[in-house]
């Protein structure tokens, strides 16, 4: 009887997984820390969403891209990270089909984050390298279309990547009570990492080459055009930090896939790399808070409930 009580499904005997051991004090401390980080990240990403959505002056094409990124980060924090904790600490009791369906969510959100980073890099490239044509080339409508395409492609990609698991759910489970899926590591590496990261790096290298050239050329110039370019360069540097942090958080996961063929989602190694990726969702709004004065100003207005006042959306934020 004692042995059966240690099983996720005692009625299945040899086919059932063993229940995970009770968490140690160190694990409980890690869970509490993760909860605090998730709560902070959810709050900050929600503040980003409210700020850009509410204040009319912040509804620029670039900020619409940040809004899309904040939405994906918020969904990761609210829907993905808690389940990842449950996967490592409890038995999976929702069945193999729900397990396969669940993983559409993190794959879609991660792919959307990568796509948003590519769009941000394209936006900064045009703003810095072709500033005179930026207002006509990067319009609100074009950005909205780009964001919609990004999310649709992310969903379709996750469907293609995990379609085998819908046809045969639980094919990689070693016992009942486990929830693991396997993806084609080489395909995911190329489509979701090598190609988009190559585009991001190439565009940002070009941006910073132009930035250095303009910095030298504008020392003796005081025109309005120069001021516009300086503001765009400052935005490019800020978003460059976002991109750099993104690369640091995402690279270990995909570098791990270089060592083998497939990645077993649900394994301990994958869980550690995934948490680093998810932690990126916590860092983005912190970067905005440190580097964007308008975000700090918006936080003050939101926290003090001044956004409830009439015409608060017209407040000058820049």
Cβ pair 175, 17 in contact under 8 A: yes
CA distance 105 to 113: 12
255-301 pLDDT, tens per residue?
A: 766 665 455 555 555 666 767 777 787 788 888 777 788 888 998 99
Of the CATH numbers 1.20.1070.10, 3.50.50.60, 3.20.20.140, 1.10.230.10, which one belongs to the domain with range 24-314?
1.20.1070.10
What's the pLDDT score for residue 101? 81
pTM of the model: 0.81
114-129 pLDDT, tens per residue?
A: 899 899 889 988 888 8
CA distance 6 to 91: 11
The domain limits of the chain are: 24-314
67-104 pLDDT, tens per residue?
A: 999 999 899 888 887 777 666 667 777 777 888 788 88
163-185 pLDDT, tens per residue?
A: 877 777 777 777 777 777 766 66
Q: Is the pLDDT of residue 189 over 80?
A: no
DSSP 40-79: HHHHHHHHHHHHHHH-GGG--HHHHHHHHHHHHHHHIIII
Q: Is the pLDDT of residue 5 over 60?
A: no
Query: Which structure tokens are listed for 209?
Result: 């080459």
CA distance 187 to 177: 28
Q: Taking the alpha carbons of 101, 152, 50, 39 in that order, is the dihedral positive or negative?
A: positive
């Amino acid at each position: 009887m004692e042995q059966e009580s240690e099983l996720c499904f005692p009625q299945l005997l040899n086919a059932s997984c063993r229940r995970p051991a009770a968490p140690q004090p160190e694990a409980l401390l890690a869970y509490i820390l993760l909860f605090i980080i998730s709560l902070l990240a959810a709050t900050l990403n929600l503040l980003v969403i409210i700020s850009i959505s509410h204040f009319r002056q912040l509804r620029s094409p670039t900020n619409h891209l940040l809004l899309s990124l904040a939405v994906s980060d918020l969904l990761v924090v609210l829907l993905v990270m808690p389940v990842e904790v449950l996967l490592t600490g409890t038995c999976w009791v929702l069945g193999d089909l729900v397990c396969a369906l669940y993983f559409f969510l993190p794959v879609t959100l991660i792919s959307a984050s990568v796509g948003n980073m590519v769009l941000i890099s394209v936006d900064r490239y045009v703003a810095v390298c072709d500033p005179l044509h930026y207002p006509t080339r990067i319009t609100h409508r074009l950005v909205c279309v780009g964001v919609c395409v990004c999310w649709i492609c992310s969903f379709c990609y996750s469907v293609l990547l995990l379609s085998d698991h819908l046809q045969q759910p639980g094919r990689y489970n070693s016992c009942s009570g486990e929830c693991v899926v396997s993806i084609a590591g080489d395909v995911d590496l190329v489509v979701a990492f090598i190609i988009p990261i190559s585009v991001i790096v190439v565009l940002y290298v070009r941006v910073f080459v132009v930035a250095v050239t303009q910095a030298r050329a504008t020392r003796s110039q005081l025109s309005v055009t120069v001021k516009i370019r300086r503001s765009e360069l400052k935005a490019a540097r800020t978003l460059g930090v976002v991109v750099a942090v993104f690369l640091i958080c995402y690279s270990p996961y995909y570098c791990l896939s270089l060592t083998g063929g497939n990645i077993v989602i649900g394994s301990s190694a994958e869980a550690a790399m995934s948490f680093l990726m998810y932690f990126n969702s916590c860092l983005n709004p912190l970067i905005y808070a440190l580097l964007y004065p308008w975000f700090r100003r918006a936080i003050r207005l939101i926290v003090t409930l001044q956004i409830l006042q009439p015409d608060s959306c017209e407040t000058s934020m820049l």
